[in-house]
Structure 1
Amino acid sequence: MRNSEHAGFQEAYNMSVKNKVVVITGASSGIGEASAKLLAKNGAKVVLGARREEQLKAIVADIKGDGNQAVYKVTDVTNPEDVKQLVALAKTQFGGIDVIFNNAGIMPSSPISALHIKEWDAMIDINLKGVLNGVAAVMPDFTSQKHGQIITTSSVAGLKSFPGAGVYGATKFAVRNLMEVIRMESAQEKTNIRTVTLYPGAINTELLNTISDTATRSGMDDLYNAVGIGPDAVARVVNFAVDQPENVNVSEFTIYPTKQG
Structure 2
Amino acid sequence: MKKSVLPVLFIALFTACQTSNQTVDYSNNTLYSTLWIQTAAEYEALTYQAYNTAETLLPVALEDSSWTASLEQEDPYFDKPPAIILDLDETAIDNSFYEARGILDQTGFDAVTWNNWVREAEAEAIKGAVELTNAANDLGIAVYYITNRDAEVQPYTEQNLVELGFPVEEGSVMSNGGQPDWTSAKVNRRKRVTENFRVLMLFGDDLNDFVPARGISIDERKALAEQYSDHWGVKWFVLPNPNYGSWERALYTGDEQSEEEIQQTRLNLLKDKRN
What is the TM-score normalised by the length of structure 2? 0.36
Which structure is larger by alpha-carbon Rg, 1 or 2? 2
Higher relative contact order structure (alpha carbons within 8 Å, sequence separation ≥ 6): 2
Relative to its length, the structure with more helix (as a share) is 1
What is the TM-score normalised by the length of structure 1? 0.37
